[in-house]
Amino acid sequence: MSQVPPNIIVALDYSDPEQAIQLVNQLPNQACCLKVGKELFVRGGPALVERWVKAGWRVFLDLKFHDIPHTVEAACQAATDLGVWMVDVHALGGSEMLEAARDAVEAGGGDRPLLIAVTILTSHQLSTLEEVGIAGNPMQAAGRLARLAQKSGLDGVVCSGHEVEGLRDHLGAQFRLVTPGIRPAGAAQDDQKRIMTPEAAVRAGASDLVIGRPITRADDPAAALTAIQTAIQRTEF
């Protein structure tokens, strides 16, 4: 299990960078981390990321690189140059690609980003794995990919809360388990399939909780974040 309270990473999935900036301005500084994904990065560009990095925010650049090793290595080098706190790739890219990504972030020296690999997306279920030809259920497939990521020298993986306990047992306390698909009780499931409440994910041993719509679509996002943080603080882990 994680020995420190997990980070909350707010997923800034906005089409308008100004809306993202306004939200970040409302958030208690340093009380959470920020996640910039594909939509916001394509619309806002690297300057947006640099703005928050310079302001002292820990930024997870969630672009889920998956390509030939040379391309992923160069993309991870570019992410490292931006000064982000965390960056990710798809474990399905295989060991050669994962090792190229690791070499790129390590070339940045001591102040390098954490490098994590997506195992099985939280929007996937057994039928999705069957559809795309991945053997086993989500736990089995995530377990194989997480072991590959660890063997390739990565710092952790993205998985659903449902896999956290099993992965923690096998991969040790230091390996980062970053969990999206987090839904407070009663919140809309949206397109997520393998969901878990923040409290249950914390009890299972998640290192970081990625939360988007339950915060960004709330009437008062800062209050929604505070409510989740309070619930986590009351949870024994």
In sequence order, the β-bridge partners of residue 208 are 7, 178
By C-alpha distance, which of 72, 170, 179 is closest to 119?
Answer: 179
Question: Closer CB to ligand LLZGTKA7, residue 100 or residue 196?
Answer: 196
Catalytic site positions: 62, 64, 67
We find the least distance from the C-beta atom of residue 178 to ligand LLZGTKA7, in angstroms, to be 8
The reply to whether 215 sits in an annotated binding site is no
Interface residue list for ligand LLZGTKA7 (CB under 6 A): 11, 13, 37, 118, 121-122, 158, 180-181, 190, 192, 210-213
- The answer to whether the CB of 120 falls within 8 A of the CB of 142 is yes
Plot region of 20 (φ>0 → left; ψ -120 to 50 → alpha; else → beta): alpha
DSSP state of 36: E
The reply to whether 111 sits in an annotated binding site is no
We find the least distance from the C-beta atom of residue 91 to ligand LLZGTKA7, in angstroms, to be 11
We find the least distance from the C-beta atom of residue 237 to ligand LLZGTKA7, in angstroms, to be 21
Residue type, 211: I
By C-alpha distance, which of 186, 182, 185, 190 is closest to 160?
Answer: 182
The reply to whether 54 sits in an annotated binding site is no
The reply to whether 46 sits in an annotated binding site is no
Binding annotation for substrate: 13, 35, 62-71, 122, 183, 192, 212-213
